[in-house]
Structure 1
């Protein structure tokens, strides 16, 4: 054993002398070959500690060539999976990452090393350490890294942040990826590099395709938006996944996604974006494959009051089929949407536009009821309102008060009389304008009536003369 060690040291010393001569002579090819031979010699001898020491030594030699360090790091990375145990593997990765730290010409190799080390830490259950390691690397600044590899690396950073429930950092990292990059055609982007440009390296074979990365990205964003129940953004993420060609071609894949789109559309607060997505989804021909959800969306665009009890009885089984994927708050939020739907329906129709923004603070079927009743009522009894909302008098009054306090609704309650008024207070100019408009309408009606009477008289006289 001592003889083998002596022979190894002697061979390394000889190669170091050769490396020195080549380096001082500026011979790139000779220096690269010498450092690679030293690395191979240590690997074949199974001297992993010596290998680590020689890597550090060679990287610190005066005037060491960049090409030599790059070749040494790349060669040593090939031996990571061939290490005898996990401790040796971790030590080799750490040595290579420390050698490549701060060197632009091996920044891609360092990023890949950090990613492998983070994966090991995650397998050991050290999620926080893995996330911290990944966040040390800013791959978005790497000019020679392939676009798909950059996206995959950032998505891995986002996933680890979500696993450790660091939602703020996950959002910051996710913004480094522009959604427009997923719509680009990779075949049209391959251009000949100009002189002085960085040569973009090909992504490793294990990196997913751009469309697969798009699916992974939106799945991570669904996880992020789910922690604060942002139903509309979750719906938009599922819509983006639904539009992937590979998903649309397979009914087994798109049917569950379309179901979730419908659910989150119903749960989302009523606003212009939600209304636009709702109408666009209703026009989707694939919706005919799931008629129950088509009926659910139809109820939201039809100006009719929705009864919460009957609605929940009909769709409760569909909700249970989702297996809790919608979250524990979904039934409660759905009921609140029904309440909003009824209340807003009670308000005059011209208030609907003013309520779009205000409705964001409340919870989805009730929004539709509110919009419906707003078309037909200016005043209503509190008892009738409670019946429409399927609530007790106290609960109906509470929801109405909450909407008024949040400026979602303009209403007054006459508690002794038990009457709710949705009329807005008008100033003197508004009252005068209203009177003038009413008088104008009245005079138009009188004029039309006189014309009709005169017309009938002339026709009657003509008949008598004949």
Structure 2
């Protein structure tokens, strides 16, 4: 019975191949497309997967095959991928379709989707490096007909796989293909109907997330990348961007944990203008009153008073140890960095109140040894967070105010003015002495 069915299938395919040839040579697009799709449908219904693969290759290689027929064939065969009986058959079908669509610009979107499916299978098998290499073959940013959300989702998948294989350099390069401004675009204002001559953009598949969801995925991946580098300020900015998503801001169960993380990473970030700006803007947030402990923590950083490390750590130790990022605790490194930030804050406060101070007294105020206090001060001077000079034989630190270019020019102008006044007075005195000497000679 099976042989009889196989014979019937071959006979039916032969008839359709003849019909396809006549339609193709006559340039009849609709008839060629119908014949091609009918052949694939018959193979699928008969569950003749090997015959299906053979027919896809055969039809794609026929002389003068029409683009529309190849496109219809690839699109139809893609619907059968999830219906395959086993993984081996599925991979074989995907590879056949991938080889057929390779190098053909009119099925580039279909090829990208095929590669994504194959990469997912490789990842499920534990072959993350192979999956990442497969995804990197496709440059979707050049696909004019692909929907914007689908492009972003594809690039984010490339970034995720690179992070999974710990290829942080390539992950950063790929992430730069996405402009963050695209997440803030107003979808309602985008033109719906393309003008004549414009490229027709395909609709994104149903499983592709919306722009706000993609924004969250993007920043979560960036948090993974910056966590590897321990770049606390950039992690804080990523959490800030997630916090600004409307769906997050409307749900206290979501925004409270994110706001807590924003506060912790602000405290962990080294002192600079960007950190100071974010710190002040976060303090002005009304939602911060919902977590008063963290509001108090941020206020201590903007108040020009010395912070006692032991008191601070006793108050926030439990909060710090229970805080997690990407499913992990902040860790011992973050605890050390927190103490560093407190020491930096204290040195800045001391520099505001003292013009000169002994190293011994500075170490007492910082609750450190003289050597450690000197090291922290030197590090801040090198990083240009502070202007200071240390007289080591005398054991005195002199804090100098940083001058901008206008102040320097004004001081030079004042010095020159004083110099010219001195020269003028000297000339006047010399002239006066000369006159007195001449008068004395005449007498």
TM-score, reference length from structure 2: 0.87
Give a deviation string over 1:60-90, Cα, whole Å, max 9, x none: 1111111111111111111101101000000
Shift in alpha-carbon separation, 1:294–1:400, aligned structure 2, 3 A: same
Describe the SS at the equivalent of 1:227.
helix
1:148 and 2:146 are equivalent in the alignment = no
* 1:238 paired residue number: 239
Partners of 2:158 and 2:375 in 1: CA distance? 44
1:167 is matched with: 168
After superposition, the Cα gap between the structure-2 partners of 1:424 and 1:157, relative to the gap in structure 1 and judged at 3 Å, is: closer
Q: Distance in 2 between matches of 1:215 and 1:22?
A: 50
1:401-412 equivalence runs, <5 A: 401-406=378-383, 408-412=385-389
Find the aligned partners of 1:191 and 1:206 in 2 and give their Cα distance.
21
1:318-329 → structure 2 map (5 Å cutoff): 318-323=319-324, 324-329=328-333
Unaligned runs of 5+ in 2: 419-443
Query: Which residue, out of 390, 396, 404, partners 1:413?
Result: 390
SS in 1 for 2:230: coil
**Within 2, Cα distance between the matches of 1:6 and 1:205?**
39
Q: Distance in 1 between matches of 2:84 and 2:6?
A: 19
Distance 1:108 1:91, change over 3 A: same
CA distance in 2, matches of 1:406, 1:188: 46
Match of 1:382 in 2: 359
Instruction: Give 1:6 deviation, angstroms.
Output: 2.6
Equivalent residue number for residue 421 of structure 2 = none
For residue 197 of structure 1, report the CA deviation from its aligned partner. Answer: 1.5
Retained in 1: the 8 A contact 2:307–2:346?
Answer: yes
Question: 1:337 aligns to what?
Answer: 341
Match of 2:84 in 1: 83
Displacement after TM superposition at 1:179 (Å): 0.9
TM-score (norm: length of structure 1): 0.83
2:437 is matched with none
2:229 is paired with a residue whose SS is coil
1:127 match: 128
Cα contact 1:32–1:68 (8 A) shared by 2? yes
Secondary structure at the aligned position of 1:413 is classed as strand
Asked whether the 8 Å contact 1:307–1:388 carries over to 2, the reply is no
Please state how far the C-alpha of 1:245 moved relative to its aligned partner. 0.7
Spell out the pairing of 1:234-383 with structure 2 (5 A cutoff): 234-323=235-324, 324-343=328-347, 370=348, 372-383=349-360
1:126 deviates by: 0.5
**Pairwise CA distance, 1:121:** 0.6
> In structure 2, how many angstroms separate the alpha carbons of the residues matched to 1:85 and 1:181?
40
Aligned to 1:391: 368
Deviation at 1:410, TM superposition (A): 4.1
The structure whose RCO (Cα within 8 Å, separation 6+) is larger is 1
Name the count of aligned residue pairs: 408
**Could you tell me which residue of structure 2 aligns to residue 63 of structure 1?**
64
Query: Are the aligned partners of 2:322 and 2:329 in contact in 1 as well (CA < 8 Å)?
Result: no
CA drift of 1:128 comes to 0.5
Given that 1:12 and 1:38 are in contact with CA atoms closer than 8 Å, whether structure 2 keeps it comes out as yes
Given that 1:309 and 1:390 are in contact with CA atoms closer than 8 Å, whether structure 2 keeps it comes out as: no
Deviates more, 1:417-426 or 1:194-203: 417-426
Asked if the contact 1:211–1:244 (Cα under 8 Å) also holds between the matched residues in 2, the reply is yes
In structure 2, what is the Cα distance between the partners aligned to 1:424 and 1:141?
52
From the superposition, tell whether residues 399 and 111 of structure 1 become closer, same or farther in structure 2 (CA, over 3 Å).
Answer: same
Tell me how far 1:433 sits from its aligned partner: 5.8
- Distance (whole Å) between structure 2 residues aligned to residue 295 and residue 380 of structure 1: 29
Q: Which residue of 1 aligns with 2:46?
A: 45
Deviation at 1:279, TM superposition (A): 0.7
Task: Say yes or no: does 1:205 pair with 2:206.
Answer: yes
- Aligned-partner Cα distance in 2 for 1:432–1:82: 84
1:33 and 1:5 map into 2 onto residues whose CA distance is 22
Paired residues of 2:81 and 2:93 also in contact (CA < 8 A)? yes
Residues 101 and 107 of structure 2 are in contact (CA less than 8 Å); yes or no, is this contact kept in structure 1?
yes
Deviation at 1:42, TM superposition (A): 1.1
Q: Secondary structure at the match of 1:194?
A: coil
Does the Cα contact within 8 Å between 2:153 and 2:208 map onto a contact in 1? yes
Spell out the pairing of 1:97-108 with structure 2 (5 A cutoff): 97-108=98-109
The corresponding residue for 1:19 is: 20
The reply to whether residue 216 of structure 1 matches residue 217 of structure 2 is yes
Q: Secondary structure at the match of 1:306?
A: coil
Deviation string for 1:311-365 (max 9, x for gaps)?
Answer: 111111110121444344111111111222222xxxxxxxxxxxxxxxxxxxxxx
1:433-460 Cα offsets, whole Å, 9 max, x none, are 69x99xxxxxxxxxxxxxxxxxxxxxxx
Q: Cα offset for 1:414?
A: 4.0
